[in-house]
């Protein structure tokens, strides 16, 4: 494989070609198809609508998105390649398994060894998913269903760490409404993973500065990626605290450990259906940061340099 590249669904690219990256998004995902899940949560694979929505991000200056839809909830490498060709965006595909409630039975998470699980993640990155020949470019989103790591989730986290060591890929996680991201870091560290290449996702769902400082204090990246969501009162009204925490992280010198995204994962989030689409950062959040005193150089570091560094396989 080429050195110093980013693996997209259309092949390796020069990291400098990425531009502005949305590091935690979906272009299609179906959570309610998993047995015993009844929340009817879905972002439909509606190509004309998705292409139109992503075109708005590209028109706003976007260059790349990371699609973290996992095996079992709708990951489709051919779909992602089609999206990339149709939009002109660089698209990076994730790998691994989401969280225990959504593990597909055929993955046999509870029956295979950690090394066997790691082997599959490595195969996705080095050979390709299934017979597609399309390679993943990041590990994740690897998650926990609750504020603790279950036994099966521990296996997946350990497998992710072992695969990261073998491939050089970064790891990105799902960790909500708790400090479980620190438990995730404990597992990755125990397996010898490079924590500077780990992203703890959904950190804005636990908007406490101590939690965010603890993440960056271990050299990992903190990702605020529920921006523009409106499903809960915290999401609708809590953004001010995120701006404050982000500014405090910057003041303490952690500009290189912050990522921003929107986690579009439901039809209602699309502009077509009254949501903010993939342009909430451009339309609302980045202007709010600038008004709070965040410089253009800092914004470029957060939106361009940081995700590019994490996605680059040395």
**pLDDT digit string (tens) for 170-221?**
999 999 999 999 999 999 999 999 999 999 999 999 999 999 999 999 999 9
CA angle 9–138–32, rounded 5-degree value: 85
CA angle 90–275–300, rounded 5-degree value: 45
Q: Which residues contact 213 (CB under 8 A, 6 or more apart)?
A: 249, 252
CA–CA separation, 263 and 124 (whole Å): 23
**Stretch (H or E) spanning 80:** helix 77-87
Cβ 107 vs Cβ 75: under 8 Å: no
Residue 74 DSSP symbol: T
Residue 254: C-alpha distances to residues 103, 212, 245, 247 (Å): 34, 10, 11, 10
Strand-strand pairing, 42-43 and 29-30:
antiparallel
Q: For the chain, which ranges sit under pLDDT 50?
A: 1-2
pLDDT at 2: 46
Q: Which residues contact 116 (CB under 8 A, 6 or more apart)?
A: none
pLDDT at 3: 67
pTM of the model: 0.97
pLDDT at 1: 41
Structural tokens at position 115? 């090394």
């Amino acid at each position: 494989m080429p050195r110093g590249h980013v693996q997209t669904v259309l092949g390796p690219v020069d990291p400098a070609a990425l531009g502005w990256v949305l590091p935690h998004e979906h272009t299609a995902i179906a959570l309610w198809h998993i047995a015993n899940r009844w929340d009817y949560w879905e972002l439909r694979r509606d190509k004309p609508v998705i292409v139109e929505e992503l075109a708005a991000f590209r028109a706003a200056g976007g260059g790349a998105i990371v699609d973290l839809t996992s095996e079992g909830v709708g990951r489709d490498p051919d779909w992602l390649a089609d999206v990339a060709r149709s939009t002109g965006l660089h698209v990076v595909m994730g790998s691994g398994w989401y969280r225990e409630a959504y593990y597909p039975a055929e993955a046999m998470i509870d029956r295979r060894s950690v090394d066997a699980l790691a082997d599959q993640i490595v195969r996705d990155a080095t050979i390709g998913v299934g017979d597609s020949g399309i390679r993943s470019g990041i590990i994740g989103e690897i998650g926990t269903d609750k504020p603790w790591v279950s036994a099966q989730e521990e296996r997946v986290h350990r497998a992710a760490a072992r695969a990261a060591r073998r491939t050089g890929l970064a790891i990105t996680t799902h960790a909500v409404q708790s400090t479980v991201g620190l438990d995730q870091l404990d597992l990755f560290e125990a397996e010898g993973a490079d924590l500077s290449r780990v992203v703890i996702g959904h950190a804005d769902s636990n908007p406490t500065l101590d939690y965010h400082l603890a993440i960056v204090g271990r050299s990992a990246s903190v990702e605020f990626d529920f921006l523009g969501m409106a499903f809960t009162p915290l999401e609708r009204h809590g953004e001010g605290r995120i701006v404050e925490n982000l500014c405090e992280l910057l003041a303490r010198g952690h500009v290189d450990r912050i990522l921003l995204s929107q986690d579009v994962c439901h039809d209602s989030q699309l502009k077509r259906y009254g949501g903010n689409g993939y342009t909430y950062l451009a339309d609302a959040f980045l202007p709010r940061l600038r008004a709070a005193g965040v410089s253009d150089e800092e914004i470029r570091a957060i939106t361009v340099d940081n995700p590019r560094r994490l996605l680059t396989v040395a």
